[in-house]
């Protein structure tokens, strides 16, 4: 079982806030999975390099040219709270 | 084909909409249904998909449609643009008429993890349609769309396809642009097709595949033309932990291939038992990063009355995400924490290399692998048959293809105890053609099942009213 403190640190890093009941339930489910992950200790991966993507044939690049995206105003419209073209957030300081 | 006319002919459309509504009262496969969306009308007659309606999983952007990913955090979000696949289908004249329900952000095997609706399996309303593309699979099985788009990160197209008795294609990684699809695990995600007709599956895949400048992981599609005439099949032996019906269907499929004169060999995938820890380590790690952007600031659900930006983010995420999503974000954050990376994430990526090596060896001797799509047929709602933990462990037959990046197709393999059972084929990268041909071989012996109440579009439109 994960220590409760470990779970809460992880939750905070993930920007999640858990109440008591939820923390308890998620800790059980997470611990069960992490214990299962221990199965990986048995695998011999000596001399194998990690795969980051299943199929990367080449390093894809593109010309450094600005693209025009005409959606900016509509995207601002999608914000939950705004003032003119600004998105409102609670006081930072 | 009437599908091309169903939206244009008023009488046909009326009957079709009625048919959809009747099914939807029972299965709730769609979050949005809008048959009145203007048809693109550009490709009159010229394209096989001209004016054909279709359904899109709700994690793929369709302009002006709600775009929820099955999550409360995006419940009222409307897409501003079309995904690259939708743009392609627009130019061919196909018409997106609905968005299908799904497990929140693609996380689940039942579609019960949707925050917005419960989708039922058309074969048995007490059972799940599978997931995460459960809405797409149910809609196709019920005959309310000729094809649907889905996404597959660890089996999310193939498992629901097998639960509903339809085809489900997970293409080669990078063969279809994901621009406009919401990422779950970027090194595994692909967009694919569900349909009752293998030729339709093939047609749609052929039309949506290819390199796209907007998705840097897409590659030029250069078909692997190995052994199309007389492919050699491989299958797994030993105790695979299958339910009786899946075990029977599996054996029957191998027998069919043998009886038709195909060479069928026993194979082993040594890394199969390590798929689940590797898959869940990698997918949750990537998910924890991909889902960081849902924080209540720029769009989506925002919690009211918080006093700092940090509190706003935490509250919005905690109130907006469901339990399975929180669990996977927590797991992903945990395996990436400093000090743990070598033990989990890097290790999982090395196992991934091992899996790829296994397939390279296998495809040195054979052309196609026949495997179960899932160890059971559709299970009942409410975790009565399989707990969420057991559901995750059951992903091993499907997630292995995502880890290797290879294409896989689940196909209907019979109906047992009134429920469809699906199996799947794996093929080497860029050999989707092999998958389609193999599925056609099986379809000669096992026709695609019709769920009770299913009508073809001809039957729907040409039946006298009343």
Residue A90: which of B307, B333, B406 has the nearest Cβ? B307
Please confirm, yes or no, whether B431 is among the known catalytic residues: no
**Minimum distance, in Å, between the CA of residue B82 and any CA atom of chain A:** 12
Q: Indicate yes or no: CB of A13 within 8 angstroms of CB of B354.
A: no
pLDDT in tens, B41-64: 555 557 889 999 999 999 999 999
Q: Indicate yes or no: CB of B354 within 8 angstroms of CB of A43.
A: yes
Which residues make beta-bridge pairs with B151?
B191
Nearest-5° angle of CA B170, CA B176, CA B179?
120
CA distance B397 to B414: 19
Is residue B459 within 8 Å of B128, Cβ to Cβ? no
- Decide which of 2.40.128, 1.10.1740, 1.10.10, 1.10.20 is the CATH code for A1-45: 1.10.20
Residue A54: which of B296, B351, B404 has the nearest Cβ? B404
State the pLDDT at residue B465: 59
Q: What is the DSSP letter of B261?
A: T
**Minimum distance, in Å, between the CA of residue A63 and any CA atom of chain B:** 11
Q: What is the DSSP letter of B3?
A: G
Is residue B168 within 8 Å of B156, Cβ to Cβ? no
* Extents of the domains making up chain A: 1-45
List the end-to-end C-alpha distance of chain A, in Å, as a whole number. Answer: 38
Residue A89 contacts B, CB cutoff 8 Å: yes
State the pLDDT at residue B42: 58
Residue A39: which of B277, B301, B404 has the nearest Cβ? B277
Q: Residue B352: its chain A contacts at CB < 8 A?
A: 50-51, 54
CA distance B63 to B56: 12
- State yes or no: pLDDT of A73 exceeds 70: yes
- CA proximity to B242, closest of B380, B400, B416: B416
Q: Span B341-346, mean pLDDT?
A: 94
- Residue B413: pLDDT band (50, 70, 90) is very high
Is residue B66 within 8 Å of B76, Cβ to Cβ? yes
Q: Indicate yes or no: CB of A51 within 8 angstroms of CB of B217.
A: no
| B 242-281 residues with CB < 8 A to A | 271, 273-274, 276-278, 280-281
Residue A23 contacts B, CB cutoff 8 Å: no
State the pLDDT at residue B125: 98
Residue B298 contacts A, CB cutoff 8 Å: yes
Top-confidence residue, A52 or B12: B12
E strand or H helix at B126: strand B124-128
How do B419-426 and B368-372 pair as beta strands? antiparallel
Q: Indicate yes or no: CB of A48 within 8 angstroms of CB of B353.
A: yes
| A 34-53 residues with CB < 8 A to B | 34, 36-40, 43, 45, 48-53
Q: Residue B185: its chain A contacts at CB < 8 A?
A: none
Contacts of B327 (CB under 8 A, 6+ apart): A26, A29, A30, A33
Interface test with B, best of A1, A33, A38, A47 (most B CBs within 10 A): A33
Token pair belonging to B170: 């997970």
Mean pLDDT of chain B: 95
Domains of chain B: 2-230+407-462 (3.90.1300.10)
Token pair belonging to B348: 């999982």
Distance of CA B62 to the CA centre of its chain: 17
pTM value is 0.96
Nearest-5° angle of CA B116, CA B7, CA B124?
45
Q: Residue A21: its chain B contacts at CB < 8 A?
A: none
Is residue A30 within 8 Å of A36, Cβ to Cβ? no
Residue of B nearest to A51 (CA): B349
Is residue B429 within 8 Å of B224, Cβ to Cβ? yes
ipTM reported for the complex, 2 dp: 0.95
CA distance B465 to B317: 49
List the end-to-end C-alpha distance of chain B, in Å, as a whole number. Answer: 23
Residue A12, SS3? helix
Question: CB B43: neighbour CB atoms within 10 A?
Answer: 18
Which residues make beta-bridge pairs with B16?
none
State the pLDDT at residue A70: 82
Name the H helices within B115-180: 134-141, 158-164
Q: Residue B333: its chain A contacts at CB < 8 A?
A: 10-11, 13-14
What angle, 0 to 180 degrees and rounded to 10, lies between the N-to-C axes of helices B275-290 and B347-365? 120
Which residues make beta-bridge pairs with B318?
none
State the pLDDT at residue B1: 66
- Residue B369: pLDDT band (50, 70, 90) is very high
Residue B107 contacts A, CB cutoff 8 Å: no
């Amino acid at each position: 079982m994960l220590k409760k403190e470990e779970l809460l640190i992880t939750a905070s890093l993930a920007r999640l806030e858990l109440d008591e009941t939820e923390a308890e339930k998620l800790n059980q489910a997470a611990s069960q999975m992490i214990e299962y992950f221990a199965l990986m200790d048995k695998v011999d991966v000596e001399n194998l390099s990690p795969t980051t993507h299943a199929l990367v044939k080449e390093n894809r690049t593109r010309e450094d040219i600005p693209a025009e995206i005409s959606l900016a105003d509509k995207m601002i419209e999608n914000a939950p709270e705004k003032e003119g073209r600004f998105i409102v957030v609670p006081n930072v300081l | 084909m009437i599908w091309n006319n169903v939206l244009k002919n008023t009488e046909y459309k009326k009957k079709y909409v009625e048919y959809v509504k009747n099914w939807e009262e029972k299965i709730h496969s769609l979050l949005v249904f809008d048959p009145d969306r203007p048809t693109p009308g550009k490709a009159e007659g010229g394209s096989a998909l001209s004016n054909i309606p279709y359904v899109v999983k709700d994690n793929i952007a369709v302009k002006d449609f709600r775009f929820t990913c099955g999550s409360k955090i995006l419940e009222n979000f409307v897409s501003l643009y079309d995904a690259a696949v939708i743009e392609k289908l627009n130019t061919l004249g196909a018409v997106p008429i609905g968005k299908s329900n799904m497990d929140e952000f693609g996380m689940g095997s039942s579609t019960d993890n949707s925050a917005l609706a419960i989708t039922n399996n058309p074969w048995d309303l007490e059972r799940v349609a599978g997931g995460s593309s459960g809405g797409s699979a149910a809609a196709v099985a019920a005959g309310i769309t000729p094809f649907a788009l889905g996404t597959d990160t660890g089996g999310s197209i193939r498992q629901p396809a097998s639960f509903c008795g339809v085809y489900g294609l997970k293409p080669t990684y990078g063969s279809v642009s994901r621009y406009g699809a919401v990422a779950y695990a970027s090194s595994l995600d692909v967009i694919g097709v569900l349909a009752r007709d293998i030729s339709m599956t093939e047609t749609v895949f052929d039309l949506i595949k290819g390199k796209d400048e907007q998705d840097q992981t897409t590659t030029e599609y250069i078909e692997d033309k190995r052994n199309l005439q007389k492919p050699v099949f491989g299958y797994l032996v030993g105790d695979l932990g299958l339910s009786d019906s899946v075990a029977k269907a599996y054996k029957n499929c191998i027998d069919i291939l043998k009886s038709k004169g195909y060479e069928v060999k026993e194979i082993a995938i040594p890394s199969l038992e390590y798929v689940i820890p590797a898959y869940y380590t990698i997918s949750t790690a990537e998910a924890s990063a991909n889902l960081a952007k849902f924080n209540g600031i720029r769009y989506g659900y925002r919690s009211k009355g918080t006093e700092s930006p940090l509190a706003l983010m935490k509250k919005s995420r905690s109130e907006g995400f469901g339990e399975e999503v929180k669990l996977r974000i927590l797991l992903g954050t945990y395996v990436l924490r400093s000090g743990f990376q070598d033990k989990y994430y890097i290790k999982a990526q090395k196992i991934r290399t091992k899996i790829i090596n296994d397939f390279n060896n296998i495809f040195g001797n054979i052309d196609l692998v026949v495997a179960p799509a899932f160890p059971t047929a559709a299970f009942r709602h409410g975790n009565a048959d399989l707990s969420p933990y057991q559901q995750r462990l059951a992903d091993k037959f499907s997630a292995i293809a995502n880890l290797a990046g290879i294409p896989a197709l689940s196909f209907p393999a019979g109906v047992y105890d009134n429920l469809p059972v699906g199996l799947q084929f794996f093929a080497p990268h860029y050999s989707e053609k092999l998958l389609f041909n193999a599925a056609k071989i099986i379809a000669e012996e096992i026709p695609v099942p019709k769920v009770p109440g299913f009508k073809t579009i001809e039957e729907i439109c040409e039946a006298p009213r009343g």
